[in-house]
A and B are shown apart, each in its own frame.
Chain A
């Protein structure tokens, strides 16, 4: 009997199939519509990002999330390991060198991270000796102005950051709570970019001399010092200061700096509305160096000395008579031959950048110096933060020669 019923169900007649189809249709409507209607009367489960969430979304994502980068300048050693590690040159650090006595040996005028370019690979975080650079959990990168996407961890280049000296053997460093610094920076994201000079400022002296194209072969460092001296004289007279600043520029009025012309940019610099020195693309490194010289001497109140022995500039470019005594020691045996090892060690250590970055594959600067003096390390090319400067010094001390060109 049961078999019979099953057989009938499996092979229904034409009418049975017809009726079954109608019944199935009605049933699927009934079931389906009851399900969808029941969902209509429930609470939607989606979260209404960004302003109707119970906690900020960044607090709900995992702690090791790679969001915007953050640098705690208080524990940054200026080793530039992060800048070198970055595969796409997102990090820009400008180092201001001092003599190590009246001014610190290294200072950071600029520590910019272009969040718009960053690919969040985390390679910069790995080599940092103190953990100063870290990924935060910030991720909301919508800004009103594209330029604001650059995080400037040294807010004012005229107040350069002094590197941190980690205590010997320390393995923990007093870092600010992660995220605070970046959050403070991105809070200013929707602020307008540096304003254009007003019409009055522009119309004030229309016929004023524009910056002239610089003659080829001009020594930018010497000119920078000249201009700086001029600028110091007219420090309070902003229009005159503007003209001095404009002289340092390429004078092409290309508008690449974001201002209408050279005058606009130099006016913004003179009035302190802009502090960035690298916006003049046609002027390039020369203009940047000159502008920096001027701005720094305005800040410090004195024209910087002509480059001493540590300057990478070739000797013939130096202003005549500006070279202090003891600069030229081209001949004579190297210090390595004359001094005892302990004295030599001090000289070698002094030549290094002193950031303990570890890039030389020694734990710190002391290690590398010991390696050179006591262990016969012949590679004098390892101090990356010190750069050409340290390299020249090391070659002079150890071999008495100029370093080979790179």
Chain B
């Protein structure tokens, strides 16, 4: 972003390095970006809350909220207004200071991720050379907020939820970190933009189809991200039937809405990260990153928007998958959750890292092996399962004597 700012200032005929107060200009723009990012996060989280209810409703043969605005789209605005105007209750026996600031810890941990998260070819707040490391580090702040809210509420439900969440997030950080190591190994950089540049626009150039270990790592990352975001089937910290609402039981009004903002906003974060690390990010098929760099003028703007659309499209697809999973799978037990992490995901992720390290040596010796594996993986793990899945879904509809009808009864 600094380069972008500098070029902007130079475009106006000034030299930023000659200014004595350039730092303040940067500071002002940092504030502006922070404002934009927080608003982006809040609005997407709001829209996801509506989308999730519509998706859930369709999957349960219901209609869902469809009264406020076209298709019920403004439902999230109505809910936000309701939440913001509700009374902010603070339990008498709680630790009042911690209780008040806990939601902000979560908000900070969540919003900081957007600093290193790319949106398009040029649009990223800061393309840090340790981007992934930064993202993993700041997401850990969410656990602090969760434990803080659970502890300070002075309620057993809240504390149970917080402890479960701590156990879960800390456990799943390991497979998530190891799985994210694999694209880092392949790309040779921690920078998010660098990792996207190391991939290509076509699906067979994505890291997910690079070799069997990356394919496994993608799913390990996705499962771990679900667990870290407290999403079903890993929503044990807020298991309604057991813990009322878990760590946020005692919260109301605006502070309560922060927790949900983080939960829904996290769907964007986990999906955008999966897109960045494994699915080619904003890469446009047939246009290389170097070609994009060389573009200027209106052409650059068009391709910039195209890359933005590609990135957002991929991310939204995985957001949909996260919702889809939530309305498919029941919540798993605590012991199953721990089993899954320590007995399956952790060992497989370690094996995958070692496999990829060896694989890179093989591919360096014989590049043709890598190309062939790309294609085999793309066909065997991508195209064929997708086709089988579509036919399976079609058969599910047909077998019940029903038919495909997506448009009526909205």
Contact = CB atoms under 8 A, between A and B. Distances in A.
Given A34-B389, A37-B393, A42 B55 contact: no
B389 A40 contact: no
B404 A42 contact: yes
B396 A32 contact: no
A46 B396 contact: no
B406 interface: yes
B68 to A, nearest CB: 14
A42 B402 contact: yes
Interface in A33-70: 33-46, 48
A46 B63 contact: yes
Contacts of A45: 61
A40 B344 contact: no
Contact of B63 (A39, A41, A44): A44
Interface stretch (B2-10, B28-36, B129-137, B325-333): B325-333
Q: A-side binding surface: helix, strand, loop or mixed? A: helix
B14 interface: no
B409 A36 contact: no
Of the four ranges (under 10, 10 to 19, 20 to 34, 35 or more), the interface on chain B belongs to 20 to 34
Nearest to B327: A36
Contacts of B397: 38, 41-42
B58 A40 contact: yes
Given A21-B344, A34-B393, A42 B61 contact: yes
A37 B324 contact: yes
B89 interface: no
B408 A43 contact: yes
Interface residues of A, number: 21
Nearest to A26: B219
B329 A32 contact: yes
B409 A48 contact: yes
Contacts of A46: 61-63, 409
A49 to B, nearest CB: 11
Contact of A44 (B55, B57, B324): B57
A44 B409 contact: yes
A22 B216 CA distance: 12
Nearest to B399: A38
B51 to A, nearest CB: 12
A30 to B, nearest CB: 7
Interface in B359-410: 389, 392-394, 396-397, 402-406, 408-409
Contacts of B325: 33
A398 B24 CA distance: 111
Nearest to A32: B328
A106 to B, nearest CB: 51
A15 to B, nearest CB: 12
B39 interface: no
Nearest to B396: A38
Contacts of B328: 29, 32-33, 35-36
Nearest to B407: A43
Nearest to A37: B393
Interface in A13-28: 18, 21-22
Given A33-B389, A39-B58, 6 more contacts: A34-B392, A42-B405, A43-B408, A44-B58, A45-B61, A48-B63
23 contacts: A18-B344, A21-B344, A22-B344, A30-B389, A33-B324, A33-B328, A34-B392, A34-B396, A36-B327, A36-B328, A37-B59, A37-B324, A38-B393, A38-B394, A39-B58, A40-B59, A41-B404, A42-B402, A42-B403, A43-B402, A43-B408, A44-B63, A46-B63
